[in-house]
Structure 1
Amino acid sequence: MIEHLPAKLGLSQQFDCSYLPNRQEQLLVILEPNCYCPDKFELLLAMGFRRSGDQIYRPHCPVCSACQSVRVLATEFTPSKSQKRKLNKANKYFTITYSNAEKADYYPLYCKYIAARHQEGSMYPPDKQQYKSFLFCHWLPITFIELRHKDQLVAVAVTDTMNNALSAIYTFFDPDYEYLSVGTVMILEQIKYAQQQGKHYVYLGYQIDECAKMKYKTQFLPAQKHINNQWLAI
């Protein structure tokens, strides 16, 4: 388990890729029950896996290897001048709070975000069951990093918590505040939280160089990409 893939694996059917046109996507899925715990999952993260809901998976596409896991070296990270400006500006408006449980105002904010930003995606229209099955997990502790303006919830970063790493699952925010670079601010807050908690890495999910909307993931340096079973500096 530490150096090799688990014995029990599944392979999904092929389906249309969500990010690149005219591509087919396929997933390698972990079926071994004892992998579904924080310690084993952290090892799988280091092998390029990720979770969606309760399921652990990794892209295993027949003719494409564009998806590359990205992780920030949190212990070495210092925000750039541009990132510091965004943080300083956000600090004038917002406060950061943390929660270990979902709150009632999360789902309305999620709906507003999906309706405004992802009308052409598979998550539209927003659905409560899909929201829960995508974001939440029964076998792993989750930290919800909240951005608030006075009493109003502005953003939530759903963040998996392991011994030595955080994994950024999804961030949704009020599109009315997009001009304050809320998406960038929330990643910076996840990195800051990792530093406060003594975590070595923040996993940002998969980077696809051909997909313009994913390029933000390589702006948080130092960072590494998982390529051919190795972590290489970006």
Structure 2
Amino acid sequence: MNSYINWNEVQIDPTSDAEINALYDQGYVFVRIGKNILQQTRSVRIKLADFTLSSENRRVLRKVENLSLELIKLPISPDNYDWHIHKLGKDFYNNKFGPGIFTASRIKTILTTQELNFNFLLKYSIIDQNCGYAIAYSNSSIMHYAYPFYDFEAYPSNLGMAMMIQAILYAQNEGREYIYLGSVRKASDIYKLQFKGVEYYQKDQWSNDIATLKQEVFETPSI
């Protein structure tokens, strides 16, 4: 499989949101290897002032009617934590990427301790039935949408994309400037590039030349 793109790594003492925002603007994102660690990668973000729903985005949302989003502050106390969350995450990542990629114990640790910087759990429901989650970092200017997982057996194939669109709309409605969607390193990540206002970080600058990126990704051999 393709290795994760990591051009540089920093560990900071985040004293202000402005410091974190500046690093995200240089292609860095929080990762799950340790507290206050950010890696510089081919980050993807949407400038929310330029975002509008496309006809395809609307079609996806129509396919997943009654999808609702709730933000839960992290960490979750042990008394309020539901073990079904990490079971769903483990099953999802085992099925999609193979055993050990994202374990149940690791998911629980991220959600119930302050070991990492992610500070919100995005909880998705359809008619009061929990169907999916994503882990996020958010402040008044940016949101980083990361590590989504959902019940892929019980719900339609459009659910994952609908969850991402809902997060984008939430960030826009809450006045965020950007939402970050992770990185693009292989062909299966191309779906992140379909949105209006999207751009990606290429070593030293942001670019909206999506055609060139798609060509590079499809021509890069697997490792």
Q: Is this a same-fold pair by TM over 0.5?
A: yes
Q: TM-score range by the shorter chain?
A: 0.7 to 0.9
Q: Corresponding residue for 2:202?
A: 227
Assess if the C-alpha contact under 8 Å between 1:116 and 1:175 holds in 2.
Answer: no
How many aligned residue pairs are there?
200
TM-score (norm 1): 0.74
Assess if the C-alpha contact under 8 Å between 2:118 and 2:135 holds in 1.
Answer: no
Assess if the C-alpha contact under 8 Å between 1:90 and 1:180 holds in 2.
Answer: no
What is the CA RMSD across the aligned residues, in angstroms? 2.6
Point out where structure 2 has 5 or more consecutive residues left out of the alignment. 211-223
Aligned structure 1 segments of 4 or more residues deviating by more than 4 angstroms: 23-27, 132-141
Question: Where do residues 153-172 of structure 1 align in structure 2 (5 Å cutoff)?
Answer: 153-172=130-149
Q: Corresponding residue for 1:40?
A: 19
2:10 to 7, 30, 45: 30
The one-character-per-residue Cα deviations of 1:170-217 (angstroms, maximum 9, x if unpaired) are 111111145341111111111111112101111111112xx1211111
The alignment status of 1:56 with 2:56, answered yes or no, reads no
Q: Corresponding residue for 2:174?
A: 197
3-state SS of 1:39 partner: helix
Cα distance in 2 between the residues matched to 1:140 and 1:37? 13
Q: Corresponding residue for 2:218?
A: none
Cα distance in 2 between the residues matched to 1:68 and 1:182? 25
Alignment identity in percent? 20
Cα distance in 2 between the residues matched to 1:88 and 1:74? 22
Task: Name the stretch that deviates more: 141-150 or 183-192.
Answer: 141-150
- How far does residue 138 in structure 1 lie from its aligned partner after superposition? 5.2
**1:40 alignment partner AA:** E
Cα distance in 1 between the residues matched to 2:197 and 2:6? 30
**2:193 alignment partner AA:** T
- How far does residue 134 in structure 1 lie from its aligned partner after superposition? 5.7
Cα distance in 1 between the residues matched to 2:5 and 2:198? 26
- How far does residue 115 in structure 1 lie from its aligned partner after superposition? 2.6
Cα distance in 1 between the residues matched to 2:107 and 2:44? 24
Assess if the C-alpha contact under 8 Å between 2:131 and 2:155 holds in 1.
Answer: no
Q: Which has the higher contact order (CA 8 A, sep 6+)?
A: 2
